[in-house]
Amino acid sequence: MGNAIRVVNAEMLLRANEKIREDRLSGVPTDTIESMVSALARDFTADDIVAAAFRMCALAGFVESGSAGPWAHHIGDDDWVIADHALLRAAARAPLHEAHSIMEAKFAPDEFLHIVLEEADVRGRC
């Protein structure tokens, strides 16, 4: 197992996610990493942005695997997903280790879901 990927501020992933969404809605073809960098470069270090990118890719893999359950909903035939903010907040702090490539970064599903539950606002819900 590689070195641990640093924990990042959850606001980074929330802001990056919003920028990715805005760029996709604009219809301008933009790479996800490019969107993240444009959203974060003014306020965060390059090391923080790299860590956030690893974490967003690991989250994408988690959702694509079907492991997110009710925390993520696929929209139509496109690859759009509505993700609960608890997923993004958990992705910011869940244990994650370096992989051979950013696309191979993965969270341990059971451990990650436990952190999602900690991050979820479930007050008053059954």
Report the pLDDT value the prediction gives residue 126, as an integer from 0 to 100.
Answer: 45
Quick one: CA dihedral 81, 86, 91, 94, positive or negative?
A: negative
Q: Which of 56, 58, 63 minimizes the C-alpha distance to 39? A: 56
d(CA 49, CA 72) in angstroms, rounded, equals: 24
The tens digit of pLDDT for each residue in 6-63 reads: 999 999 999 998 998 888 888 877 788 899 999 999 999 999 999 999 999 999 888 8
Q: Is the pTM of this model over 0.75?
A: yes
Report the pLDDT value the prediction gives residue 46, as an integer from 0 to 100.
Answer: 95
The tens digit of pLDDT for each residue in 69-121 reads: 665 555 555 565 556 788 889 999 999 987 888 888 899 988 998 898 898 87
d(CA 81, CA 86) in angstroms, rounded, equals: 14
Quickly list DSSP for 10-46. HHHHHHHHHHHHHHHHHT----HHHHHHHHHTTTS-H
Measured from the Cβ of residue 95, the count of other Cβ atoms closer than 10 Å reads 12
Report the pLDDT value the prediction gives residue 99, as an integer from 0 to 100.
Answer: 81
